[in-house]
Structure 1
Amino acid sequence: MRTRPWQKSSFSGEGNACLYVSAPDGATIRLRESDQPDTILTTNPTALDALIRSAKAGRLDHLGEG
């Protein structure tokens, strides 16, 4: 697998609450947070798109309640 550099999300501010994304190929997307860079989540474009659409539609809002 070819290594691609990590890109910081344009929505991330300064400090240690930043999201980084890497796409080593067309089928894999890797995500990590700046405060735990050794923890890497791996997904695919279809699943990430579904997650983002659900979050934007408010279908995940209940997860923060508690």
Structure 2
Amino acid sequence: MTALHWFKSSYSGNDGPDCVEVALDWFKSSYSSNEGPDCVEVAIAAAPAAVHVRDSKARDGDQLAFAGSAWAEFLGFAARR
């Protein structure tokens, strides 16, 4: 089981009752090797629809986020290659 990564919703205020946190459930990409330089994890957020990507060897490092439509376009492009 992977650990959830919690973060504050962009719809939350800084103070007061409107503070919401959401979590991403990360999983290893099927294209990643078990031990090697190609380790990618992804997490899918429902609202707003987005796919988050990170390096599984640097889980606290930078992450990329793609709109669901952009991710689908990327996968279509990659499949044609």
TM-score of the superposed pair, with normalisation by structure 1: 0.70
Partner of 2:18: none
Q: CA deviation at 1:18?
A: 1.3
- Structure 1 unaligned spans of 5+: 59-66
Q: Which has the higher helix share?
A: 1
SS of the residue corresponding to residue 73 of structure 2 reads helix
Matched letter for residue 22 of structure 1? A
Higher relative contact order (CA 8 A, sep 6+): 1
Partner of 1:22: 43
Q: Which runs of 4+ in 1 moved over 4 A?
A: none
- Structure 2 unaligned spans of 5+: 1-8, 10-21
Q: Equivalences for 1:1-66 in 2 at 5 Å?
A: 1=9, 2-16=22-36, 17-26=38-47, 27-37=49-59, 38-58=61-81
